[in-house]
């Protein structure tokens, strides 16, 4: 078999992603005939047709799908190499961190604390949805994603999930709402409105199960998917928030909020997600180790 031309493979990937020779040629600034010729050369090299035409669209054949999977792996490795070796000779190292937009800011700060103040390190922090962040991680534009949602994994998934912390969850509210007299959990839930995470979260599932076991149907003041907003609503006395104390540690220390009761058996997991890379960012090992050790003592 003739030697594989990586330039032809890159052009093939562009056509496969666009499903159109015309669109890919325009984006690559090539004539359609020149692009078609180079795709045919690749097909001759591999000994298989890579596309079949359906109207104006080009659809991958079985051989084309296999070729695209290998092409993605080849160019991902090249991107990893460029990203890693591109740091060589720089005075500062760069760590690109993605964080779920609804994640506790205190937890993010705790994770990044080993790098804060280092003059040889630049931290780039991006927030977004889980899907957006995982796409960035896959494209190596991010080195690590901080989240409390474990991504789906199977044998083909590239994700490595590092459990950094398992934080207890409590009912937290203002001193005026909680009062000075001790109260049982069932009494508090029957008497006071609560601010809860949304139903699609594991934290909410665990709370609903607990309330059911206690035989209580709480009055819901708000359902919020953002830890920062949960924190604000607790401070504004909207109700008792179901929240990890780490999220409101400053308010607890200042006496603005009080921990009414710990919710036994309920915890929030904080995770760092990386991908299996041949050339991982060297900053990751130390910061992940520090994060795991911190989680064990939290």
CATH code, 166-268: 3.40.190.10
* Whole-number percent of the chain with pLDDT over 70: 91
List all residues 6 or more positions away from 192 whose beta carbon is below 8 Å from its beta carbon: 173, 177, 219, 239, 240
Q: Taking the mean position of all CA atoms in its chain, how far away is CA 162?
A: 12
Enter the pTM of the model.
Answer: 0.61
Total H helices, total E strands in the chain: 12, 10
Report the pLDDT averaged over residues 21-46.
90
Secondary element (H or E) of residue 284: helix 282-297
Q: Parse the chain into domains and list their residue ranges.
A: 6-85, 93-165+270-297, 166-268
Q: Is the pLDDT of residue 35 over 70?
A: yes
185, 262 in Cβ contact below 8 A? Answer: no
Domain 6-85 has CATH 1.10.10.10: yes
Confidence of residue 147 (pLDDT cuts 50, 70, 90): very high
Q: Is the pLDDT of residue 293 over 60?
A: no
Secondary element (H or E) of residue 132: helix 130-138
**Comparing 6-85 with 166-268, is the CATH topology the same?**
no
Q: How crowded is the C-beta side of 144, counted as CA atoms within 13 Å? A: 26
CATH topology for the 93-165+270-297 domain:
D-Maltodextrin-Binding Protein; domain 2 (3.40.190)
Token pair listed for 111: 């994770």
Q: CA 166 to CA 270: how far, in whole Å?
A: 6
Tell me the pLDDT tens digit for each residue of 232-282: 999 999 999 999 998 899 999 999 999 999 998 899 889 999 988 777 788
């Amino acid at each position: 078999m003739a030697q594989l031309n990586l330039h032809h493979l890159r052009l093939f990937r562009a056509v496969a992603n666009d499903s159109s020779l015309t669109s890919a040629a325009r984006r690559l600034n090539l004539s359609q005939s020149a692009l078609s010729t180079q795709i045919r050369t690749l097909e001759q090299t591999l000994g298989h047709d890579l596309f079949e035409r359906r109207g104006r669209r080009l659809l991958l054949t079985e051989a084309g799908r296999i070729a695209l999977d290998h092409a993605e792996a080849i160019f991902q490795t090249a991107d990893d190499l460029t990203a890693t070796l591109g740091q060589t000779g720089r005075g500062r190292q760069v760590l690109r961190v993605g964080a779920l937009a609804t994640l506790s800011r205190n937890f993010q700060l705790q994770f990044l604390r080993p790098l804060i103040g280092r003059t040889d390190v630049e931290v780039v922090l991006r927030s977004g949805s889980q899907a957006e962040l995982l796409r960035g991680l896959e494209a190596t534009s991010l080195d690590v994603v901080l989240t409390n949602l474990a991504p789906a994994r199977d044998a083909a998934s590239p994700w490595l999930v590092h459990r950094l912390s398992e934080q207890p969850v409590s009912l937290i509210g203002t001193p005026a709402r909680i009062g000075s007299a001790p109260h049982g959990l069932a009494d508090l839930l029957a008497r006071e409105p609560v601010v809860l995470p949304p139903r699609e979260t594991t934290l909410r599932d665990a709370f609903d199960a607990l309330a059911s076991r206690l035989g209580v149907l709480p009055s819901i003041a708000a359902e919020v998917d953002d830890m920062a907003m949960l924190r604000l609503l607790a401070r504004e006395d909207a109700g008792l928030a179901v929240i990890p104390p780490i999220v409101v540690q400053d308010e607890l220390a200042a006496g603005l909020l009080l921990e009414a009761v710990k919710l036994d058996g309920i915890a929030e997991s904080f995770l760092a997600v990386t991908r299996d890379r041949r050339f991982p960012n060297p900053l990751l090992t130390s910061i992940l180790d520090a994060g795991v050790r911190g989680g064990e003592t939290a």
